[in-house]
A = this chain, B = another copy of it.
Amino acid sequence: MVRLGPNRYGKAEVHVVTVGRGAAPDGGDVLRDRRVSTSLSGELAATHLVGDNRHVVATDSQKNAVNVFVRRLGDVEPETLALALGRHFVDEHEHIDRARVAVEEYPWVRLGASPHSFARSGQYVRTTTAVVDGELGVGVVSGVARLVVLTTTNSEFWGFARDALTTLPDTKDRMLATEVSARWRYRSAGDAEADWSAAWTAAYQELLAAFSQTYSYSLQQTLFAMGRRVLEAVPAICEVRLVLPNKHHYLVDLEPFGLENENQVYYAADRPYGLIEGAVLADDAPDADFAWD
């Protein structure tokens, strides 16, 4: 005998761009470029078992909801949009117990003095996910992805375990590069007044500061420093999860050509790469695993 386990369904990557015409302080336009993904779960056994769809909110309708809320809410932070959408699905549909709304926001910058023209600023993607659960409440996890950083020095790696399979030499000076994926959970997500923008910016800046100011003996140490600084700077955040690929840069051997290479010329390898993952929590972080769902 078999049974249905956890399940959810939704519309992924509704790519919606909105213009707040003349909404910038100087009278220029405000541009928001987002990919919104929604997921619903609840009393959905019938559609799985016998194809009875009466509890199914079509993914097409979920897409419509994204468009409608984007229009109604206008120029709001992605967290506000995600929360409003999540609450809508759970409130309006009695058989939907939980909604998960994820937003990726792509930054653009105004082109000089032009009120209407923009260039994509590809340095990172701002992310947020709101989970609205009829019973457990609301969780908000925001973050940043595709943030590529590098430090030319101030990184060592030595004293690690050695056995018959170890060939890596100790190094007292290496280049360290990574593509930061960080997500942080807010302590209390329900507060409509939360200043999401200020919190996001502070967290982002702490990540960069921790990366550039940590003299690193391992990428794990840098990871912990990044999480700790976010928690210390933004009390509204209670947990940070980080994924840091170690984008290896190997010194090129120039000896065969009679040249020295004093940490000047590196080969940037694609694969394989180290991958460091970890969480940093406030001591008093409330339990809320569903927020990471």
Of residues 262 to 289 in A, which have CB atoms within 8 Å of B's CB atoms?
262-268, 270-283
Chain B residue nearest in CB terms to A111? B212
Q: Contact mask A55-78 → B, CB, 8 Å, 1/0?
A: 111111101110110111010000
Q: Secondary structure of the A side of the interface?
A: mixed
Residue contact A16 to B268, C-beta cutoff 8 Å? yes
The answer to whether B3 touches A283 (Cβ under 8 A) is: yes
| Interface-located stretch among A116-124, A126-134, A135-143, A187-195 | A116-124
The complex places the Cα of A165 from the Cα of B72 at a distance, in Å, of 13
User: 24 interchain pairs (CB within 8 A)?
Assistant: A2-B232, A4-B278, A5-B241, A7-B277, A12-B274, A13-B273, A14-B272, A16-B252, A16-B268, A17-B265, A19-B264, A20-B264, A29-B152, A48-B218, A58-B157, A58-B168, A60-B166, A71-B261, A71-B264, A114-B151, A116-B154, A117-B151, A119-B149, A122-B123
Interchain nearest-CB distance for A44 vs B (Å)? 7
Point out the residue from B114, B148, B164 that lies within 8 Å of A120, measured CB to CB.
B148
> With a CB–CB cut-off of 8 A, which chain B residues contact A64?
165-167, 256-257
Closest chain B residue, CB of each to CB of A14 = B272
In the complex, are the beta carbons of A257 and B68 less than 8 A apart? yes
Q: Judging by beta carbons under 8 Å apart, are B161 and A57 in contact?
A: yes
Tell me if A220 and B168 are in contact (CB < 8 A): no
Report chain B residues within 8 Å CB of A220: 7, 9, 44, 47-48, 51, 56
Query: Does A211 belong to the interface (CB within 8 Å)?
Result: yes
Give the number of copies in the complex: 4
Contact A112 B275, CB 8 Å, known A64-B165, A149-B120: no
The distance in angstroms between the C-alpha atoms of A114 and B58, with both chains bound, is: 28
Which A residues, 148 to 180, have Cβ-Cβ distances below 8 Å to chain B?
148-154, 156-161, 163-168, 175
Q: Which residues of B contact A27 (CB under 8 A)?
A: none
Kindly provide the distance from the CB of A3 to the nearest chain B CB, expressed in whole angstroms. 5
CB atoms of A17 and B268 under 8 A apart: yes
Asked if A86 is an interface residue, CB under 8 A from chain B, the answer is no
* A161-B268 contact given A114-B213, A256-B167, A280-B4, CB 8 Å threshold: no
Q: Is the CB of A265 within 8 A of B60?
A: no
Which chain B residues border A231 with CB–CB below 8 Å? 2
* Inter-chain contact B249/A53, CB cutoff 8 Å: no
